[in-house]
Structure 1
Amino acid sequence: MVNAGDTAWILISTALVMLMTPGVALFYGGMVRKKSVISTLMMNFAMLGVVGLLWVFYAYSLSFGPDSGGFIGSLKYVFLNNVGGEPSSTYATTVPHLAFMMFQGMFAIITVALITGAVVERIKFSALMIFAVAWLTLIYAPVAHWVWGAGGWLAKLGVLDFAGGIVVHVNAGLSALALVIVLGARKGFRHEPMEPSSIPLVMLGAGLLWFGWFGFNAGSALGSNSLAASALVATNSAGAAAATTWMLLAWNQRRPTLLGIATGAVAGLAAVTPGAGFIPPIYGVLVGIVAAVICYYAMIAKMKMGIDDSLDVMAVHGVGGIIGVLAVGIFASIAVNPVGANGLLFGGGLTLLGKQLLGILSVGGFAFGGTWIIAKVIDTTFGLRVKEMEEVVGLDLSQHGERAFGGIR
């Protein structure tokens, strides 16, 4: 039976998560050079169109349709057949099936958008669109079914992911790393200054992300209830703790920066995502602190290794997601969520932690390997990278014929 309060919360949460994609666009757009701002915004905003359509056409069905062997959903829900105003008998049983479908669609959209931050300033827009279609179909939909789908093999094993630590952040982070390896570094990487175009845009984007994350995590309670409140508090606590910790780390090294505190907040929010509805809210503080420290040094390590993950998708989302997924195995408590499990700290031993590690390894390996293959095929057939002169001029002009600001640099 449809519950009005639960339905209202899911509809609001869907809108909140939708706003996160423009938030990512601004967050990323402020970090690139002036000559590639429009390109970066476009890569993100276009996902609202492309992925939004494919989700209702077939990707929702592959992700959440009736199980086929534990690995993929059936085609029962293609073109929204059998998805209507009545609740699903399996998912979110107090809200219209259409509402649940659209809420999950926003997760798919932002996951594809997150990957773009790793390859800004040198990837063809046409190649990225082909990649988005292939990746949504071949990587995201199966992973979503494994972890969240009824009958998914990781779900049946008891792997816990409340709001997307595995499905969104680990998946996007490892996929971004594979795509970077195939694409290569930007021209002049580590030799030319690559100053952000607008730190205020970065802060605005981070603020929209933090705002939307309440729908992302608390909305994943799938109802207007105490679990949603618990997830919301855990989410804010982790974001606040990570932002403050990152600020202090940067201050200790040199001086506190707005770019740093914004990045820290996102790292903490990513890390708490898998456990927001499974851990006591106060442990969100600890998750945020640990995520800030490890992600901070992961970014430094990435630079030393010469990997041009341009906007640190792996270091922030991938590493942050891994930290959060493992934290579930330590801090989860059935007192918070009876459908979860007790982690190490609450008497569950190493069982849940082992399951969480399996989830990371299986999804991470699948995402990295599958993305590498997809990228290689696209690079061989269509070409992934713009021409050198187009990269020098900037993707705003060479790919879109527009400028974000008065100059090209």
Structure 2
Amino acid sequence: MPPGITTLAADTPTLSAANTGFMLICSALVMLMTPALAFFYGGMVRVKSTLNMLMMSFISLGIVTVLWVLYGFGLAFGADIGSVVGWSSDYLGLSGIGVTQLWDGYTIPVYVFAVFQLMFAVLTPALISGALADRVKFTSWALFITLWVTVVYFPVAHWVWGAGGWLYEMGVIDFAGGTAVHINAGAAALGVILVIGKRVGFKKDPMRPHSLPLVMLGAGLLWFGWFGFNAGSWLGNDDGVGAVMFVNTQVATAAAMLAWLGYEKLRHGSFTTLGAASGAVAGLVAITPSGGAVSPLGAIAVGAIAGVLCAMAVGLKYRFGYDDSLDVVGVHLVGGIAGSLLVGLFATGGVQSDAKGLFYGGGLEQLGKQAVGVFAVLAYSLVVSAVLAFLLDRTIGMRVPEDDEISGIDQVEHAETAYDFSGAGGGAAPRTTSPAPGNTAAAKTKRVDA
């Protein structure tokens, strides 16, 4: 039997209908996060890049799902090979798994665990896409996803969560993906943008979000789906840990949003909708690794610290000259690092494990473990992602031609536009209103949109 599988014998756990149903719902919630991310990113770009941004997320649902079934689940959660990667022939094509087989001592079927983890694998490369807005060939992006999940995400997932994975065995705490998902994606984004370069007009032309309502919709759906992402990662709720994670997810997200808005008001003088949405996502990112180890008060601290740090970090791209289009580095990399390291300070030792942080009498031991996990994943993903981008750029090319980027990547790559301005009620020539009595001269100059 491959590792992680138990059978319905008398001396083993039996299938729980409640936990199985709960995990299926959580899997659906995590799946929703990828379209939610597409809306979030899609609203943040200019009109001419909206569809491309949506498609860069949606294509991950197709590519990663197929790869996960073929070999991804085996690489991530199969029998350990050198503490680096897994493999089990029974996981090839998910062909050797029976419907009555349970996952690793839990009360849910292997299939349920596999589909839950699949949704994590789908979301992670989609996160990277926000850093590359406006300028990447869609075919190159699809090939990059294929290569990246194979040589980066699947092995890193094994390091962090797989039995025998070296970070797992070291005792690095990552409840739901601070290292494997957010640091991994943020570091990859940085590696790729250092290779492909800046958008045309970066720091010169206005590149404001074209639809803040779409951004807020995406952020709200991400917040909703994140409850499945986080609470579901305990694979059931027989002992209440999943409930603690659910509460901490809400608390940290709220604190981060308020902290971002407070920083924004002090720094720039306004409370913006983009700041509210970005702050919420920063809190969600930071609580992902830490929420099973901290108390609700600790979750407030984690969220508030991450909200301020991420708000400060998004401006670094202008100082250092790297074009992180939608702040993947500033939010996901910095937020993931903050949340992972803060475990070493705020872990109470009374929730998911007995590991305690510095502020609860645990000394620096857990903080040291967290730092190893953070910088190992960061360095590996950054270097390998940059190498993959370099190879693709030198072979098939990563970027669209400059003229196509300027005219709009939606029309070039997808032969569509997000909005039709030529139909009835939009795009018609301006017309002059009827003269107002007693004010003929002024009325002749007054114009309204058709």
Candidates 308, 330, 343, aligned match of 1:328:
343
Partner of 1:260: 275
Partner of 2:164: 151
How far 1:261 sits from its partner (Å)? Answer: 0.5
Q: Do residues 113 (structure 1) and 137 (structure 2) align?
A: no
For 1:282, what is the secondary structure of its paired residue? helix
Partner of 1:37: 50
Partner of 2:363: 349
Q: Do residues 66 (structure 1) and 92 (structure 2) align?
A: no
Q: 1:60-139 maps to which residues of 2 (within 5 A)?
A: 60-76=73-89, 77-90=91-104, 93-139=106-152
Q: Note if contact 1:117-1:311 (Cα within 8 Å) is conserved in structure 2.
A: yes
Candidates 21, 25, 28, aligned match of 2:34:
21
How far 1:111 sits from its partner (Å)? Answer: 0.3
Q: Hey, what's the Cα distance between the residues in 2 that align with 1:281 and 1:134?
A: 39
Amino acid of the structure 2 residue aligned with 1:167? A
**What is the CA deviation profile of residues 322-355 of structure 1, one whole-angstrom value per residue up to 9, with x for unaligned ones?**
00000111111331123x5112122221111000
Q: Hey, what's the Cα distance between the residues in 1 that align with 2:208 and 2:82?
A: 49
**What is the CA deviation profile of residues 9-30 of structure 1, one whole-angstrom value per residue up to 9, with x for unaligned ones?**
1101000000000010000000
Asked which structure has the greater CA Rg, the reply is 2
How far 1:87 sits from its partner (Å)? Answer: 4.1
Q: Note if contact 1:331-1:345 (Cα within 8 Å) is conserved in structure 2.
A: yes
How far 1:197 sits from its partner (Å)? Answer: 1.3
The runs of 5 or more residues in structure 1 that have no matched partner are none
How far 1:407 sits from its partner (Å)? Answer: 5.6
Partner of 1:303: 318
Q: Note if contact 1:326-1:357 (Cα within 8 Å) is conserved in structure 2.
A: yes
**What is the CA deviation profile of residues 56-104 of structure 1, one whole-angstrom value per residue up to 9, with x for unaligned ones?**
11111100011111000114211003333234452x6210100000000
**What is the CA deviation profile of residues 151-208 of structure 1, one whole-angstrom value per residue up to 9, with x for unaligned ones?**
0011111111000000000000000000010111100010001121100000000000
Candidates 415, 422, 444, aligned match of 1:401:
415
Amino acid of the structure 1 residue aligned with 2:261? M
Q: 1:45-64 maps to which residues of 2 (within 5 A)?
A: 45-64=58-77
Amino acid of the structure 2 residue aligned with 1:300? G
Q: Note if contact 1:58-1:75 (Cα within 8 Å) is conserved in structure 2.
A: no
Q: Hey, what's the Cα distance between the residues in 1 that align with 2:380 and 2:278?
A: 27
Candidates 211, 219, 229, aligned match of 2:232:
219
Q: Do residues 269 (structure 1) and 287 (structure 2) align?
A: no
Q: Note if contact 1:87-1:94 (Cα within 8 Å) is conserved in structure 2.
A: no
Q: Hey, what's the Cα distance between the residues in 2 that align with 1:12 and 1:264?
A: 26
Q: Hey, what's the Cα distance between the residues in 2 that align with 1:136 and 1:21?
A: 16
TM-score by length of 2: 0.88
Amino acid of the structure 2 residue aligned with 1:127? S
Amino acid of the structure 2 residue aligned with 1:367? S
Amino acid of the structure 2 residue aligned with 1:221? W
Candidates 192, 215, 227, aligned match of 1:202:
215
Partner of 1:360: 374
Amino acid of the structure 1 residue aligned with 2:325? S
Q: 1:242-261 maps to which residues of 2 (within 5 A)?
A: 242-252=256-266, 253-261=268-276
Q: Note if contact 1:34-1:407 (Cα within 8 Å) is conserved in structure 2.
A: no
RMSD across aligned C-alpha pairs, in angstroms? Answer: 1.2
Partner of 1:280: 295
Q: Hey, what's the Cα distance between the residues in 2 that align with 1:250 and 1:327?
A: 23
Q: Note if contact 2:33-2:226 (Cα within 8 Å) is conserved in structure 1.
A: yes
The runs of 5 or more residues in structure 2 that have no matched partner are 1-13, 423-450
Candidates 168, 171, 182, aligned match of 2:181:
168
For 1:396, what is the secondary structure of its paired residue? helix
Deviating more after overlay: 15-24 vs 221-230: 221-230
Amino acid of the structure 2 residue aligned with 1:358? V
**What is the CA deviation profile of residues 335-378 of structure 1, one whole-angstrom value per residue up to 9, with x for unaligned ones?**
1123x511212222111100000001111100001101111111
Q: Hey, what's the Cα distance between the residues in 1 that align with 2:93 and 2:296?
A: 39
Q: Note if contact 2:176-2:233 (Cα within 8 Å) is conserved in structure 1.
A: yes
Q: Note if contact 2:256-2:283 (Cα within 8 Å) is conserved in structure 1.
A: yes
Partner of 1:241: 255
Q: Note if contact 1:35-1:396 (Cα within 8 Å) is conserved in structure 2.
A: yes
- Structure with greater contact order relative to length (CA < 8 Å, sep ≥ 6): 1
For 1:67, what is the secondary structure of its paired residue? strand
Deviating more after overlay: 262-271 vs 219-228: 219-228
Candidates 341, 365, 372, aligned match of 2:386:
372
Deviating more after overlay: 360-369 vs 244-253: 244-253
Q: Hey, what's the Cα distance between the residues in 2 that align with 1:341 and 1:97?
A: 28
Q: Hey, what's the Cα distance between the residues in 2 that align with 1:358 and 1:87?
A: 35
Q: Note if contact 2:175-2:290 (Cα within 8 Å) is conserved in structure 1.
A: yes
Q: Note if contact 1:331-1:342 (Cα within 8 Å) is conserved in structure 2.
A: yes
Number of aligned residues: 406
Calculate percent identity across the aligned residue pairs: 49
Deviating more after overlay: 300-309 vs 20-29: 300-309
Q: Hey, what's the Cα distance between the residues in 1 that align with 2:69 and 2:411?
A: 33
Higher helix share: 1
Q: Note if contact 2:19-2:107 (Cα within 8 Å) is conserved in structure 1.
A: yes
Following TM superposition, the consecutive aligned residue runs of length 4 or more in structure 1 with deviations greater than 6 angstroms are none
For 2:314, what is the secondary structure of its paired residue? helix
TM-score by length of 1: 0.97
